[in-house]
Chain A
């Protein structure tokens, strides 16, 4: 059992939790994730570790309400417990001194990019962070990212805050200015990661993406998270979650991510009906 130490609402439907998990806190590295199970009848779900405090024995998770299980998780309060947390899983980000690194975080992917930005800076890189979301309300971690980035550019799709546009187009602009970029890390919606991969491809810049595939155990047992990378089948949980963006088959990733959409909608409807009944 893992106690929730603090809960903070970062944006509509986006919650940051600090949770007790001492062994994970002391062994995790940037880019790694955990698999959690809220209660006895819940699903096992993967979430990237945003930050940790090995002295306090806690890890931070940022969870967006996107379906039945995340809705239920986001309803938990300080002092509540999460039944199971397994980790740290996956390979850590290959953090080293590349020179200049651009980190592109989109939406809740910004939560995943944060520890990488921090790690890259600590490794001596000049880090340019592009933090984007659909609108002003959904921008998260602005202050935290400012602290660990050399340059921070905020963007919104609708122009309600920062620069109007997508992370990929801003990156395009940076490259067209002729700035020398040695590595790009992009984490967020699959469409954004695919767009970034296309922007950097002609420049032959090493580009890393973190894939959030469907998985059960997170330890290489189910194979549900298989992705095709450079024509080879890989398991996102043990071979990843980070891969070379120029080799990932994004089309397949998008199709596979939608496999349980109908079941998810059914569960959501059941939950909505239940809430409706409770009201009545």
Chain B
């Protein structure tokens, strides 16, 4: 009895510590440069926040995490001041903790199910993950994990985004030899071409990838599987025992509206690739990027927020940047934190507004978008209320730069050159849930190429499952 009441009182005491906020750079300063927006916890803040964890016997947060990080254990290590040990604990399940601590939607995963969240704010698991990973890296305490003895088996990992990197890491640990094929000139996939520097500094991505290189992965950049060579060639000629396809969803979708090919209209993929991968915002890089006085970003997902905030920064905080979205704020797919950051920085939200056509000047450059006002009707298949145009509400929105951020679809280099690989009518690969096994023996797939555009952590979760299945396949 006494023990129980003691436990209860300890619980009470913990509940009284408020969730520690993370220092963030001032909006009017940060919206002019590409430096990171949140600054991360200090060790003191991290330890206070870590003490809020109830150390549940059956932690819901671990179930809520797609890669099942041992959350209470790593948090306890932070409480104990063992920060690098905390990072190593996370790495038992997660290859890219400094990345995930920054870009994971924790509010929909681990933090959503945190018991503390039922009565107070949940433990800031993401911020603690970020803290531990940053501490380890900044203090030079990153170690190359020891791999099992070499098995002599060779695996080809196609694509070096979150799923591919995870598979590579896991299979290297098991002692398999891994070759990573990447079509671009840099490893990281969406982590390097898509997510901007101010949200995910590229040196952090590079450092996490370095671990995989140091573990002995062979890296082949500038190889487009399906063009440079086929999946069958990897298996039959190059002697790979298994192939993992983590090629993502790279083909940008457009609205297919009149005037969409006018100059000044581009996909979010193009805009972000110019800025992030090609470093167009820097004077010393040659690739150009153009941002006009009035920028309209169409869409309201994380990529739309990234595009809008990047456009504002490219203009040095000078341009008027707006989001155009056909539903209301409630249906916006971006993370709450991203929407808030965008708003603080001065991004304008044109909600319940839908483009009808793009209007150009006599030289073929976009100057305005004709839009129609929308209202919300009954919920549609996605469960969100369907937007319905209001008759006679057509109006003109001025814009000299338009960035279309409507999502992406898979490309077809591999599906068209690998006849025995089954695909869905959306072009995604059909893969067994839990293993990633495709219709072709020895070929596994995971990430956006299976699910369609999703998140970094879901791709990593799929990568972990596929790595386990590939290991079993190679043993079997």
Contact = CB atoms under 8 A, between A and B. Distances in A.
Interface of A: 23-24, 27, 37, 41-44, 68-69, 83-89, 216-217, 219-224, 226-228, 233, 238, 251-252, 255-256, 258-260, 263-264, 267
Contacts of A228: 261
24 contacts: A27-B227, A27-B229, A37-B185, A41-B285, A43-B286, A44-B185, A44-B278, A44-B287, A83-B185, A84-B185, A85-B222, A86-B185, A86-B228, A217-B184, A217-B273, A219-B250, A221-B250, A222-B266, A223-B254, A223-B266, A224-B266, A233-B260, A256-B261, A256-B364
Interface in B231-255: 250-252, 254
B263 interface: yes
Interface in B279-313: 279, 284-288, 290
A227 B364 CA distance: 14
Contacts of B267: 222-224
Contacts of A264: 288
Given A41-B285, A223-B266, A23 B251 contact: no
Contacts of A69: 286
Nearest to A252: B261
Contact of A216 (B229, B274, B411, B412): B274
Nearest to B272: A222
Nearest to B271: A222
Contacts of A44: 185, 278, 287
A264 B273 CA distance: 19
Nearest to B286: A43
Given A41-B285, A252-B364, A220 B228 contact: no
A260 B413 CA distance: 29
B256 interface: yes
Nearest to A26: B229
A28 to B, nearest CB: 9
B228 A27 contact: yes
Interface string B182-199: 011100000001000000
Interface in B344-382: 363-364
Contacts of B263: 255-256, 258-259
A213 to B, nearest CB: 11
B62 interface: no
B269 interface: yes
A177 B223 CA distance: 48
Interface of B: 183-185, 193, 221-224, 227-229, 250-252, 254, 256, 260-261, 263-264, 266-267, 269-270, 273-274, 278-279, 284-288, 290, 363-364, 411-413
B270 A43 contact: no
B270 A223 contact: yes
Nearest to A266: B288
B174 to A, nearest CB: 28
A238 B167 CA distance: 28
Given A84-B222, A89-B227, A255 B364 contact: yes
A267 B269 contact: no
Contact of B228 (A23, A258, A263): A23
Contacts of A220: 250-251, 411
Contacts of B286: 41-43, 68-69, 267
Contacts of B284: 41
10 A-B pairs closest in CB distance: A255-B364, A222-B270, A263-B288, A86-B222, A223-B267, A84-B185, A221-B250, A41-B285, A259-B263, A223-B252
A96 to B, nearest CB: 20
B313 to A, nearest CB: 18
A27 B251 CA distance: 24
Nearest to A251: B364
Contact of A23 (B184, B223, B256, B278): B223
